[in-house]
Amino acid sequence: MPELLNGRATNGNSNYKETPYSPVLESEYGEYRSLTERMNRRIQSGDPWYSLEFFPPRTANGAVNLVSRIERMSEGGPMFCDITWHPAGDPGNTEKPTSSTCMAATMLNYCGVETMLHITCSNQDEDGLKRNLQKAKDIGLKNLLALRGDPPDGGDTWKKQEEGLNYATDLVKVIRREHGDHFTICVAGYPTGHPESTSYGDDLRHLKEKVDAGADFIITQLFFKPETFFQFLRDCREIGITCPIIPGVLPIQAYQSLRHIVKLSRLEVPKEILDTIEPIKDNDEAIRNFGVEQCFQMCRELLKHEDVHGVHFYTLNREVATIEILRRLGMWVEEPCKPLPWKQTANYVRCKEDVRPIFWRSRPKSYIHRTSNWDEFPNGRWGNSSAASFGDLTDYYLFYLKHKTPKEDLLKMWGEELNSEQDVWDVFHCYISGCPNTKEVKVCSMPWNDEELSPETNLIKEQLEAINKRGVLTINSQPNVNGAPSSDSKVGWGSPNGYIYQKAYLEFFTTKENGIALKKILKNYPQVNYHIVNKNGEEDTNCDLTTPIAVTWGVFPGKEIIQPTVVDPIAFKTWKDEAFELWKHPWGNLYPEGSQSRKIIDHIFDSYYLVNLVDNDFPKDSCLWRIVEQMLEAGRQTSSVEEMDVNGQW
Amino acid sequence: MPELLNGRATNGNSNYKETPYSPVLESEYGEYRSLTERMNRRIQSGDPWYSLEFFPPRTANGAVNLVSRIERMSEGGPMFCDITWHPAGDPGNTEKPTSSTCMAATMLNYCGVETMLHITCSNQDEDGLKRNLQKAKDIGLKNLLALRGDPPDGGDTWKKQEEGLNYATDLVKVIRREHGDHFTICVAGYPTGHPESTSYGDDLRHLKEKVDAGADFIITQLFFKPETFFQFLRDCREIGITCPIIPGVLPIQAYQSLRHIVKLSRLEVPKEILDTIEPIKDNDEAIRNFGVEQCFQMCRELLKHEDVHGVHFYTLNREVATIEILRRLGMWVEEPCKPLPWKQTANYVRCKEDVRPIFWRSRPKSYIHRTSNWDEFPNGRWGNSSAASFGDLTDYYLFYLKHKTPKEDLLKMWGEELNSEQDVWDVFHCYISGCPNTKEVKVCSMPWNDEELSPETNLIKEQLEAINKRGVLTINSQPNVNGAPSSDSKVGWGSPNGYIYQKAYLEFFTTKENGIALKKILKNYPQVNYHIVNKNGEEDTNCDLTTPIAVTWGVFPGKEIIQPTVVDPIAFKTWKDEAFELWKHPWGNLYPEGSQSRKIIDHIFDSYYLVNLVDNDFPKDSCLWRIVEQMLEAGRQTSSVEEMDVNGQW
């Protein structure tokens, strides 16, 4: 009976279709897989990948834009993104937006993309190098591209230094000696020879040395014809280089930049390319169209080769051309898989993380930042993990949030002058509804949101609009869901053929009158768990003091239940401080001290309640809207009785 | 606004009604609460409890019966059960069914009842005592009743020993000195004075010494009038004894036993009782009726007192009278709450355990035994806990299973002579259907079941009956459930207002032909996870090699998802050996070597497959019956082709 006993399936998901080119699903969470391992899996499955190279921008604003671009491009499913080492830009600085290491940390931890940092050894003593390696490790990096680096004096020729490291081979050796197998190491290959090497043959031998010293794979310098690469590949294999060799390609995007690159890398552009672009050199669009077509054709040729498993793009920090080429190659992931309802980081330390409190759903970067010192991350369920303490809010420095929207733009959105609480309520209403404010400006962000409204919020948008206008200032919410398919475009996540569940959740600020009214009303709703708290932490709740409540969970074939979002009473104490503080900073601080506008925000900060409500009876229509309606009705009556008490004294 | 901020609820379940007198729900799993703590909680909530005292039987058969009785009586919700120390019965022996410590271990770990062991110090040196204390700790006990013990020589008077411990006070001190707060310690109070004490006053002072030495509560010797106890209570409080004092009561069940007890404890039976029972002393039923009535009235009087929070029953190892009294008092739990779908142990080491593999569902004692060496128990989810290794099956010595059914009874149920595989299939059919076999004997147990069929099996009984008759020998199954109320009488468990889910599960032995057919059929059912394995471990599966599948889970207000039952591929390897072995022992071994019956069982052991199937699509009608039907149809065809191959060679 051999047919029964032979075929042990090695993968529980063998029956389920996997989206092609989906590195997110491929690696999934739960176990960190090194870049080498992931490459080998893709090589075995015959599923080619791509990677994207960027360089650090010169200004903080440029950095903000690049982070946004990398966030967008990481949606398309690159195997990894890499950032070049810019020796003049204080590259080891982890706080400076324009430094290589800071950018790598941001890509890895906040954009959630597998990241590789270039690192060079020239013009640097071994101690400095070691410090940089340690920093790379500390921020959570697992991948380095080891390069010798350009001449220190900016001159054309490189001179061997007496002290220090002179070759990429030495650098690879130091990385391996100091950090063992911690890093996956990539090295550069030069299909047309390194410009400074004595010969193509010498160059190949140096490459072999780099690999023998411990490099895991090779990315090539750019080239313009597939044959150039194929010849190089043959020559490498000939001398015994067996690791993956990834062709690096450049979509030509402008005449000037091509000339610049060619000059730097001392490459020769083939005559047929020059002949084609010279006549159109002033027509940017025509050049780009040519570049896309030329690069697409070359990639297609390259990927036909049985020993080519991926392509590396020199993006020049631009997205349009590269995305177009990837789309035409069928490698761009149009509908990215969400393994979990929220986006994970790519930091290996957090690879098992699969539960978070719902509170930071619209401020994931703040959550990542405040938990970055945790030794372990909640896995499987929140359980007692909430015992770990959150980092301080005052430490919350993330350059691309700070620089994202200038003060004048915030004032235009949130009101240059506030005359009443209703003015504040209207800002919330505009944010939810998408309607422009009285100054015809769209309110596209709020202090409580890193990002735009999630698509699922649209499911309850009408209700939210109505209550925000009336002073129920919602900052977080989700509808109840009773077994939606995991493929659902709004609420779906996780692997195919699963079922998604949610308990209805509503979190809002509201007036003290409403808070008082709410407490009485909630006595009639035993199925609802609630927290009602003011800025001083005076709290009313019917929740257990330590037990988290799962509010989002999924049931999948062949797995345990996954419960990625919880309402945790302990984490809520931390979140409550952050949520109240956001009234003052950034909002209140926009206005001069003593101004009417500032006083209104201060009054809200001092007197409003932060409320959260969980309707545990998820299979039935949510009762939360009825509760809010009753609260508004009761609060209105109280309010008219206590009208005299305008100073927030109670 | 004080009314909003005052009332912090201290309990998340404050909105949900709790069943009164339900120690199981009260303590729930997740956190061990000492007996003292649980008593204090019940005192605070004004919810009186009861406890039950037993003594070790003289024979192994008696022990088997007592274990069954304690299992039944623990369903009624006692706060704890205690077992007396029987010095002549090798009381410290953990392996001997009739020893006190062995019985305590069984009650605690397998009956799942909070257990207290009596322990005495007379006629024993300190080293011997320490060994006994250590054993009590090792088996997981947390509660001891510290007594001086009876005279060593069986004589009437106790003599102070030169060496060794002479008073219960000394014993309490040793327990506290050696084990700190590990044990909750109970001591005995004598409402009419200890028979050997010089005076009632001296006796009270000794009791005060015992409490001062570290005892947590007091249980009294039996008495016949509430006033006797009330006077004692007043006197104890007077001299500063503040701990709980629990009256011990005896339901009079027979004239002779009353006389015996009275003689042993040198108590005086009130004249009005003697006058009543003397005339009916030969009428057991009349005596028992009197005893029930007398004890019920006394308990009612006692429980009216504001300082009486529980009653302790001297059951004399009988159940009828005690249960009747408890029912009349309204203290017997008629519908015990199930915090989880399976019964937990009461061992504090396992208090957080809330996930088990489904395989041992009908053999929970085997599972508890085989995991008793684990350092940690799966909590929240099975996760990677399956890495812990299971204890050896050959160690599986549990006296009350060994002695439960004599060989001749097994033969009557399972067939004194087997002539074909069909005979075996019919035994399975009889077990499931409840129909008697050809010898008119009911098959009330099978090797794969510690216990009777679970009520939920009735939900799919018809289907099971039909397929067992045709050689699909089911040993475990559950129907799919899509959000039943947690109060459901068949599939419900856990706290109120929750929703219960199950994936359909079917586990069976079947012929090699069926196994071959099944593998092909399963290709058409990607929603089904399966394992098909023979005795040699040759396995076919589409499951991930390490990922467990949740097959039972519950969603409750104010909590994370609870997923107490999983199909775990690693645990299955262990279970598979146990499941196959059960064919040989106890079944095959019933027959002489070389007999036809033995050969049939051996053939099944050698050639059959063990199959388990999980239908992941739990909201839809289960497809498992259709799969089995198709397998039987296809297997029948294969079988007729290969008919010649009768020796199991393939």
Is the pLDDT at B485 greater than 50? The verdict is yes
Residue B319 domain flag: yes
Q: Residues A585, A587, A590, A594: what is their CA dihedral angle, to the nearest 10 degrees? A: -90
Tell me which of B298, B329, B360 is where a domain ends.
Answer: B329
Q: CA torsion sign, B90 to B92 to B98 to B100?
A: positive
The CATH number of the domain where A66 resides is what?
3.20.20.220
Put simply, the answer to whether A544 touches B12 (Cβ < 8 Å) is yes
Q: Which residues pair with A550 in a beta bridge?
A: A566
Q: Say if residue A14's pLDDT is above 80.
A: no
Contact B558 A501 (CB under 8 A): no
A330 pLDDT more than 50 = yes
Residue B561 to residue A563, Cβ atoms within 8 A? yes
Q: In this predicted structure, what is the pLDDT of residue B26?
A: 41
**Statement: residue A559 has pLDDT above 90:** yes
Spatial strand order in the sheet of A528-533: A473-478, A504-510, A609-615, A528-533, A539-541
Question: Cβ–Cβ of B501/A540 closer than 8 Å?
Answer: no
Please tell me whether residues B473 and B580 are part of one structural domain: yes
Per-residue CA distances from A318 to A71, A127, A290 (Å): 13, 35, 16
CB-nearest to A516 from B4, B12, B561 is: B4
Active site residue A209: no
Q: If pLDDT is split at 50, 70 and 90, which confidence band does B157 have?
A: low
- Find the residue in B nearest to A560 (Cα): B550
Residues of B in contact with A512 (CB under 8 A): 1
CB contact under 8 A, B556 and A616: yes
Q: How far is A510 from chain B (nearest CA, A)?
A: 14
Rounded to a whole number of angstroms, the distance from the CA of A242 to the nearest CA of chain B is 31
- pLDDT at position A474: 97
- Render pLDDT for B58-100 as a digit per residue (tens, 0 to 9): 988 899 899 999 999 999 999 999 999 998 888 988 888 899 9
Residue of A nearest to B617 (CA): A557
| pLDDT number for residue A337 | 79
Question: B95-134, pLDDT tens digit by residue?
Answer: 888 999 999 999 999 899 999 999 998 878 889 999 999 9
Q: Is residue B191 part of a domain?
A: yes
Give chain A's mean pLDDT: 88
Q: How confident is the model at residue B649 (pLDDT cuts 50, 70, 90)?
A: very low
Residues of A in contact with B543 (CB under 8 A): 9, 12, 558
Decide if pLDDT at B23 tops 70: no
Say how far apart CA B548 and CA B566 lie, in whole Å.
6
**pLDDT score of B647 more than 90:** no
Taking alpha carbons only, the member of A113, A103, A96 closest to residue A56 is A103
Q: What is the SS3 string spanning A414-425?
A: HCCCCCCHHHHH
Q: Quick check: A197 pLDDT over 90?
A: no
Residue labelled with tokens 């699909």:
B472
The average pLDDT across A518-544 equals 96
Nearest-Cα residue of chain A relative to residue B6? A540
Domain region containing A134: 4-250+309-329
Residues 6+ apart with CB under 8 A from A358: A476, A478, A505, A507, A551, A552, A565, A566, A567
Contact between residue A287 and residue A255 where contact means Cβ atoms under 8 Å apart = yes
Residues of chain B in contact with residue A11, where contact means CB-CB under 8 angstroms, are: 544
Classify the C-alpha dihedral A438-A444-A448-A452 as positive or negative: positive
Omega cis (within 30) before B586: yes
Determine the residue type at A595: S
B319 shares its domain with B454: no
Cα nearest neighbour of A6 on chain B = B540
Name the pLDDT band for A159 (thresholds 50, 70, 90): low
Residue B117 pLDDT: 98
Contact flag B559-A539 (C-beta cutoff 8 Å): no
Provide the pLDDT for residue B60: 86
Inter-chain residue contact A555 with B526, CB threshold 8 Å: no
Min mean pLDDT across B18-32, B519-533, B599-613, B617-631 is at B18-32
Asked if residue A568 and residue A472 are part of one domain, the reply reads yes
Q: Looking at per-residue confidence, does B3 or A198 come out higher?
A: A198
Instruction: Measure CB to CB from residue A560 to each of B9, B381, B538 and give the nearest one.
Output: B381
**With bands split at pLDDT 50, 70 and 90, how would you rate the model's confidence at A476?**
very high
Q: State the catalytic residue, choosing from A3, A18, A26, A53.
A: A53
Residues whose CB is less than 8 angstroms from the CB of residue A155 and which lie 6 or more positions away in sequence, other chains included: none
Q: Which two tokens stand for residue A510?
A: 């509201």
Does residue A455 fall inside a structural domain? yes
Q: How confident is the model at residue A60 (pLDDT cuts 50, 70, 90)?
A: confident
B102 and B222 housed in the same domain: yes
Q: For residues A504 and A248, give the distance between their C-alpha atoms in angstroms, rounded to a whole number.
A: 49
Partners of B497 on chain A (C-beta within 8 Å) are 526-527, 616-617
pLDDT digits (tens, 9 = 90+) for B288-300: 999 999 999 999 9
Quick check: is B383 in a domain? no
> What's the pLDDT score for residue B387?
59
Tell me the average pLDDT of chain B.
88
Q: Are B473 and B426 in contact (CB under 8 A)?
A: no
Residues B317 and B437 occupy one common structural domain: no
Residues 6+ apart with CB under 8 A from B425: B468, B469, B470, B471, B473
Give the residue among B213, B187, B174 at the shortest CA–CA distance from B82. Answer: B187
CA distance linking residue B27 with residue B149, whole number of Å: 32
- ipTM of the predicted structure? 0.86
Q: Which residues of B touch A557 (CB under 8 A)?
A: 527, 529, 549, 616-617
CB contact under 8 A, B560 and A545: no
Positive or negative, the CA dihedral B120, B126, B129, B133 is positive
Phi/psi for A321 (5° steps) reads -65, -45
Among B329, B363, B385, identify where a domain stops.
B329
Q: Which of A356-370, A462-476, B373-387 has the lowest mean pLDDT?
A: B373-387
| CA distances for A403 relative to A364, A392, A406, angstroms | 17, 20, 7
Domain assignment present for residue B344? The answer is no
Q: Would you call B560 and A9 a contact, using CB atoms and an 8 Å cutoff? A: no
A225 and A76 within one domain = yes
Residues B443 and B530 in one domain: yes
Chain A to chain B Cβ contacts (< 8 Å): 162
Q: Which of B355, B555, B623 to mutate to test the interface with A (most CBs of A within 10 A)?
A: B555
List residues bridging with A505 in a β-sheet: A478, A614
Tell me which of B53, B71, B465, B578 is the catalytic residue.
B53
At A564-605, the pLDDT tens digits run 999 999 999 999 999 999 999 899 999 999 999 999 999 999
Q: How far is B416 from chain A (nearest CA, A)?
A: 34
Q: What percent of chain B has pLDDT over 90?
A: 70
Q: Determine the distance in angstroms separating the CA of A83 from the nearest CA of chain B, rounded to an integer.
A: 36
Q: Can you give the pLDDT at residue B488?
A: 94
User: Which of B5, B6, B533 is best to mutate for the A interface (most A CBs within 10 A)?
Assistant: B5
Q: Which chain B residues contact residue A499 at CB under 8 A?
A: 618-619
State yes or no: pLDDT of A181 exceeds 90: yes
Contact A559 B538 (CB under 8 A): no
Q: Do the domain assignments include residue A287?
A: no
pLDDT tens column, B131-152: 999 999 999 999 999 999 876 5
* Contacts B7 to A, Cβ<8 Å: 540
State whether A409 and A554 are in the same domain: yes
Of all residues in chain B, the one with the smallest CA distance to A547 is: B559
Residue B262 exposure: Cα atoms within 13 Å on the Cβ side:
15
Amino acid at A586: P
B558:A547 CB<8 A: yes
Segment A129-147, tens digit of pLDDT: 999 999 999 999 999 999 9
Q: Return the pLDDT at B400.
A: 60
Over range B323-346, report the average pLDDT. 91
From A329, A358, A386, the end of a domain falls on A329
Alpha-carbon gap, residue A586 to A574, rounded angstroms = 18
Contacts of B54 (CB under 8 A, 6+ apart): B66, B70, B81, B82, B83, B84, B103, B315, B317
CB within 8 Å: B550 and A560: yes
pLDDT at B161: 63
Say if residue B510's pLDDT is above 60: yes
DSSP string across B54-70: E---SSHHHHHHHHHHH
Give the whole-angstrom CA distance, residue B306 versus residue B288: 29
Contact B539/A380, CB-based, under 8 Å?
no
Residue A16's closest chain B neighbor by CA?
B526
In a domain, A521, yes or no: yes
Are B199 and B53 part of one and the same domain? yes
Average pLDDT value for residue range A36-46 = 94
A314 lies in the same domain as A457:
no
d(CA B397, CA B60): 13
Q: Is the pLDDT of residue A550 over 90?
A: yes
- Which residue does chain A place closest to B607, by CA atoms? A1
Which of A508, A503, A496 lies closest to A527 in space, CA to CA? A503
Say how many domains are in chain B: 2
Looking at A126-135, A254-263, B434-443, which range is the least confident one?
A: A254-263
Strand order in B609-615's β-sheet? B473-478, B504-510, B609-615, B528-533, B539-541
Nearest residue to A552 via CA among A543, A564, A561? A564
Task: Select from B550, B557, B619 the Cβ nearest to the Cβ of A616.
Answer: B557
Judged against a pLDDT cut of 70, whether residue A1 lies above it is answered with: no
Tell me whether residues A553 and B558 touch, CB distance under 8 A: no
Write down the pLDDT at residue B164.
63
* Alpha-helical segments (H) within A503-568: 512-522
CB contact under 8 A, B540 and A4: yes
Confidence of residue B465 (pLDDT cuts 50, 70, 90): very high
| Shared-domain flag, residues B439 and B318 | no
Among A555, A609, A613, A649, the strongest candidate for a mutation testing the B interface, having the largest count of B CBs within 10 A, is A555
Q: What residues have CB less than 8 Å from B252, skipping those under 6 apart?
A: B258, B273, B277, B287, B288, B290, B291, B294, B295
Q: Do B553 and A548 touch (CB under 8 A)?
A: no
Q: Using a CB-CB distance cutoff of 8 angstroms, which residues of chain A are in contact with residue B381?
A: 380-381, 560-561
Report the range of poorest mean pLDDT among A373-382, B62-71, B384-393, B553-562: B384-393
d(CA B3, nearest CA chain A) in Å: 8
- Provide, rounded to the nearest whole percent, the portion of chain A with pLDDT above 90: 70
Average pLDDT over residues B267-295: 92
For the segment B346-382, what is each residue's pLDDT rounded down to a tens digit? 999 999 899 999 999 999 988 998 998 898 899 888 8
Is the pLDDT confidence value at B388 over 80?
A: no
| B578-590 burial code (b ≥16 CB/10 A, e <16) | bbbbbbbebbbeb
Which residue in A222, A224, A248 sits closest to A308, CA to CA? A248
- A521 lies in the same domain as A630: yes
Q: What pLDDT was estimated at residue B561?
A: 96
pLDDT-above-70 percentage for chain B: 89
- The sign one gets for the Cα dihedral A359, A364, A366, A371 is positive
The alpha carbon of residue B520 is apart from the nearest alpha carbon of chain A, in Å, by: 9
Which residue from B minimizes the CA distance to A516? B4
* Residue A522, pLDDT score: 97
Residue type, position B78, single letter: P
Measure the CA–CA gap between B283 and A406, rounded to whole angstroms.
97
The span from the CA of B53 to the CA of B86, in Å, is 13
Residue B276 lies in a domain: no
Nearest to B542 among A5, A14, A559 (CB): A14
